[in-house]
Each structure stands twice: as structure tokens, then as C-alpha cells.
Amino acid sequence: MTTPLKQLVDEARQVVVFTGAGISTESGIPDFRSPGGLWTQNKPIYFQDFMASEETRIEAWRRKFNMDDAFAKARPNAGHMAIARLVQQGKVSAVITQNIDNLHQESGIPADKVIELHGNTTYAKCLDCGSRHELEFVRAAFGEVNAPPPCRACGGILKTATISFGQSMPQGEMMRAEAETLGCDLFIAVGSSLVVYPAAGFPIIAKQNGSGLVIINREPTEMDEIADLVVNDEAGATLAALVP
């Protein structure tokens, strides 16, 4: 069956997919803004507070390890897999994601086609020298002294490689995301409430540049009125129908 969504995708020359937490809920990772989402349980830790206090850093890492215990088993779902197929077919040129869960990469999309606007929580980075540290190392050291260890290279502060509220956006990723957005003729936003800026600016840039805009989301969003098509349904089944 040719749905309006399938028709738009078939007719498009180059598609960019933009994802939020909603694409990963079917993998068992809760989003922020659905009822019962993470937002309602834990207030986010702002970057400035993380930098200012060792106590806050301990709390941030404690939360992180608790989350990993709950979500380490998460695997890509039908939605991630469908997007991976579209990338493989050359239809989708890049996936711009707000997610930090690494599931797009795990679905088989080459890392250079996944643009992570908010970083990645599956490893840690030194805020001073930028060197990468694996979580097992941080966790083992944390277990011994109940505090995160310093960077092994320079003694600096270690944080998951994510972008917190109050932290500056990654320049290179922002530029690549903008270039991809300007290069597409169909932009599909999936599973995002489209309220977190600057990330939520990309659908607007696409639309202003003459691209088509599709929004796939369980609930209405504030951008529905500028979209060419809104699908208020589950991301997994909706995307899977594109690649039978």
C-alpha cells in the first residue's frame, strides 16, 4: 500500500532523518516528556552545576550508572532498523539525532552518517584535554572511592560525552547538521517534541529552504502546522512500513 508518507519518501531525491527520544522508547528507554518520562523523575543537572561541585559530579555519575543498569540491554528497534535500511539504499543521506544512546550506530548506520547533536552516553570524555575514557574504567574507579576518577592523561574532570543543558553545542556537528539539512528535499522528524533548541531549529531551516517536512510523533507538536505531513503514530511501525 502506498501511504502518503511512502509516496513522499519515494519521490524525494535526498532525505534527512532527525530523531529524538521517541524513536528509542520502543527499545525500552523512556523519553523526557511523555507521562512518566525521565523528566518527571529527575531534574536535569546543568553543566555549570556539574563543573562547580564535586558533589554534583558524584550525583551525576551515580545516576548514570543507575540508568545503565536499567537500560544496558536496549537494542535498536524496528524504527532504527528501517532508517538503517533507507541509509543503506542511499535514500537517507544522514541521521541527525538528539539521542545519546548509540542505537543508530548499533542498527548498522556508519558512524559518519550519524550526527549526534547532544553527544553520546556510552563513553566518557575529559573536559580538559578531550581524551576518551571507557565507562568500565570510570565505574570501577568510582566503585572504590565513591567518586569519579580524574582523567588518566591530564587529571581533568571526566563527564559522559554528552551535551548537558548549559553546555555549548558541538560546532562540527552543528555545521554538518546544517549542511545536510540544506541539502535535502525531504526532512523527517521522528519522536521529538521539537521544543529543545537549537536542535529543534533544523526542521524550520529545512522548511524555509524549500524542503518537505514530515513529523512522525505520538503526540502533536508545536511545529505540526508548518509540516507537509503529520503522522501521529508509533515510530517503529510507521517507519517499518517504508521498507517492506
Pairing status of strand 114-116 against strand 212-216 = unpaired
User: With CB under 5 A as the contact rule, which of the stretches 65-73, 127-135, 164-172, 219-227 interacts with Zn ion?
Assistant: 127-135
Rounded-to-integer distance, Cα 203 and Cα 223, Å: 9
| Amino acid at position 189, single letter | A
Helix (H, G, I), strand (E, B) or coil at 88: helix
Q: Which of 6, 14, 38, 183 binds ligand NAD (CB under 6 A)?
A: 38
133 is catalytic: no
In terms of CB distance, is 80 or 133 closer to Zn ion?
Answer: 133
Partner from Zn ion, ligand NAD, none binding residue 173, C-beta < 5-8 Å depending on class: none
Per-residue binding letters, 96-125, with ligand NAD (x by CB under 6 A): --xxxx----------------x-------
Cell of 104: 543508530
| Amino acid at position 187, single letter | F
Beta bridge partners of 216: 190, 231
Rounded-to-integer distance, Cα 6 and Cα 30, Å: 28
| Rounded CA Rg of the chain | 19
Partner from Zn ion, ligand NAD, none binding residue 126, C-beta < 5-8 Å depending on class: Zn ion
Give the residues lining the site for ligand NAD (CB under 6 A): 20-22, 24-26, 29, 31-34, 37-38, 98-101, 118, 191-193, 196, 217-219, 234-235
Residues classed as catalytic? 118
